[in-house]
Amino acid sequence: MQRLIVDMDGVLADVYSQFRKYEKEESGINQEPHAIIGKKEGEAYKNVRIYVNTPGFFLEAPVIPGSIEVMEQLNREYELFIVSSAMEFPLSLYEKYQWLQQHFPFLSWQQLVLCGSKKVVSGDIMLDDHFKNLDHFNGKTILFTQPHNQLADPGRHERVNNWKEVAELLLPQW
């Protein structure tokens, strides 16, 4: 069974919805989605570090559409681990555990890894929205499209734009 490493923020959890919501609450401005394409999170939302350190930010993040159904099937076909860079925002640690339990109850606590750097995890396939995680990985690498990476050349990584494309790539019988 191949080991599949799946990222949380920007792949399972829709953190951009939260960024937009927090920004709107703060400034009253409803941001146009296209305005942030190609910008890093910190450029697109100047108070992003305050947002991610706010209790509830991760716990109340919506689930990215299609991820639950596809993950349920991937969990049968792969040795699945959820690996999230959470240590920079340590208050998020327990929220991330709770969020996963709530939305992906078919995953067990044995399958969750909260780390600082993802360099230390090994596997056959990694699905992530950040180059900094994919670039270090020694297996097949899949880039999940998010505004911050939308204009970048994926290079050696395969790009997927949604969970339907993840399923088509990783579940041949889908």
123 binds a copy of itself (CB under 8 A): yes
Provide the minimum distance between the beta carbon of 61 and a copy of itself in the complex, in angstroms, as a whole number: 18
Nearest to 65 by CA among 102, 134, 17, 106: 17
In the list 6, 61, 83, 126, the residue contacting a copy of itself (rule: CB under 8 A) is 83
Q: Check residue 3 for interaction with a copy of itself (CB under 8 A).
A: yes
Task: Give the residue with the Cβ less far from a copy of itself, 118 or 148.
Answer: 118
Cα–Cα distance measured from residue 129 to residue 6, given in angstroms and rounded to the nearest whole number: 10
Residue 120 binds to a copy of itself (criterion: CB under 8 A): yes
Where does residue 159 rank: exposed (0-12), middle (13-18), buried (19+ CB within 10 A)? middle
Q: Which of 7, 14, 128, 129 is catalytic?
A: 7
Is 60 or 165 the residue whose CB approaches a copy of itself more closely? 60
- H/E stretch holding 144 reads strand 140-144
Closest residue by Cα to residue 107 from 143, 141, 78: 78
7 given a catalytic annotation:
yes
Per annotation, catalytic residue among 9, 14, 128, 129: 9
- Cβ neighbours around 85 below 10 Å, total: 20
- Torsion angles phi and psi, residue 85, rounded to 5: -80, 100
Q: Work out which of 37, 114, 169, 171 binds a copy of itself, going by CB under 8 A.
A: 114
Find the helix packing angle between 163-170 and 67-77, rounded to 10°: 20
Q: Is 9 a catalytic residue?
A: yes
> Smallest gap, in angstroms, from Cβ of residue 44 to a copy of itself?
24
Quick check: 5 binds a copy of itself (CB under 8 A)?
A: yes
Binds a copy of itself by CB under 8 A, chosen from 59, 113, 169, 171? 113
Among all residues, which ones are annotated catalytic?
Answer: 7, 9
